[in-house]
């Protein structure tokens, strides 16, 4: 149980275009999902907390107008990178907590590798 999927697994786009990444909890409902970014050889960096039915909470330094988050249902959150630039190239990972383990265990999606040319 507690499977999280992401789509697409990788994407290449031109500078200036927008890219949407989907995160789905397949066998549980998640009122909260988390979006991370990871640059090569670096740790996970929390970008934002996605809340179902309300606005996302962004970490300091993350542009909310550039990284649009929509948590449309209890099983789906989307991250849209608007007007992508080469410096946005990174590994984007979502996670969710099914709330059944008694502690704050996060289950991660497989990640989306974004390359902006």
Partner 1 sequence: GQNIDQPTEMTATEGAIVQINCTYQTSGFNGLFWYQQHAGEAPTFLSYNVLDGLEEKGRFSSFLSRSKGYSYLLLKELQMKDSASYLCAAVDSNYQLIWGAGTKLIIKP
Q: At 11, which helix (H) or strand (E)?
A: strand 10-13
Q: Which is nearer to partner 1, 27 or 105 (CB)?
A: 105
Least Cβ distance, residue 108 to partner 1 (angstroms): 4
Footprint of partner 1 (CB under 8 A): 41-46, 91, 93, 103-111, 113
The pair of structure tokens assigned to 102 is 């008694």
Least Cβ distance, residue 24 to partner 1 (angstroms): 14
Q: Which is nearer to partner 1, 67 or 109 (CB)?
A: 109
H helices of the chain, where?
Answer: none
Query: How many CB atoms within 10 Å of residue 53?
Result: 9
Q: Which is nearer to partner 1, 43 or 54 (CB)?
A: 43
CB 76 within 8 A of CB 23: yes
């Amino acid at each position: 149980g507690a499977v999280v999927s992401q789509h697409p697994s990788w994407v290449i786009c031109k500078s200036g275009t927008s890219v949407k990444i989907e995160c789905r909890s397949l066998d549980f409902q998640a009122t909260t999902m988390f979006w991370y970014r990871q640059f090569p050889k670096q740790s996970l960096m929390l970008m934002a907390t996605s809340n179902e039915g309300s606005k996302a909470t962004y970490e300091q330094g993350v542009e909310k107008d550039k990284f649009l988050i929509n948590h449309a249902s209890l099983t789906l959150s989307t991250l849209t990178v608007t007007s992508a630039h080469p410096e946005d190239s990174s590994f984007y990972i979502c996670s969710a907590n099914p709330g059944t383990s008694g502690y704050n265990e996060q289950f991660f999606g497989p990640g989306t590798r974004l390359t902006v040319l």
